[in-house]
Amino acid sequence: MGEQSIAPRAGLPARISPAAHAVLDYTVAATFFSVGFRLMRRHRAAASLAFANGAMVAAMSMLTDYPGGVVRVLPFRGHRTGDMLQAAFAGFGPALFGFAAHEDAKLFYAQAASEVGVIAATDWDAA
């Protein structure tokens, strides 16, 4: 059987190019690091999760074969799997780190949802 496309349904083309995806990835990593520093004094668990997510996104981005990749050992299509794992980690992270009902958990839930949107809108066959 052939591989199915991840492109959005209803005849809409995928819109996010590998270069645009790289910019989004590094922006997300920087945002997580920034949030981690802001949360360090008031909520250590959330700060730790933010740093872990930021490190995950940054490392995966540096390893991906797309503009901005440093080592380029991970094919762009393989990056999709990493994005799915990172979205799951962000979404389930507050429960894993023990603050699922805390106000700060909303940041991670929102990021996980936005990551799913980016995954759906990325042209994974472009690279």
**pLDDT at residue 126 in the model:** 86
**pLDDT at residue 55 in the model:** 98
pTM: 0.87
| Closest C-alpha among 59, 65, 71, 117 to residue 91 | 117
DSSP assignments along 70-127, one per residue? SS--B-HHHHHHHHHHHHHHHHHHHHHTT-TTSTTHHHHHHHHHHHHHHHHHB-TT--
Inter-residue contact 6 to 126 (CB < 8 Å): no
CA pair distance 121, 107, nearest whole angstrom: 21
**pLDDT at residue 11 in the model:** 56
Phi, psi (degrees; rounded to nearest 5) at 74: -100, 120
Query: pLDDT tens-digit profile of 77-118?
Result: 999 999 999 999 999 999 999 999 999 999 999 999 999 999
Percent of the chain with pLDDT over 70: 89
Where in the chain are the domains?
18-121
**pLDDT at residue 14 in the model:** 65
C-beta atoms surrounding 90 within 10 Å: 26
Is pLDDT above 60 for 30? yes
Average pLDDT over residues 27-50: 98
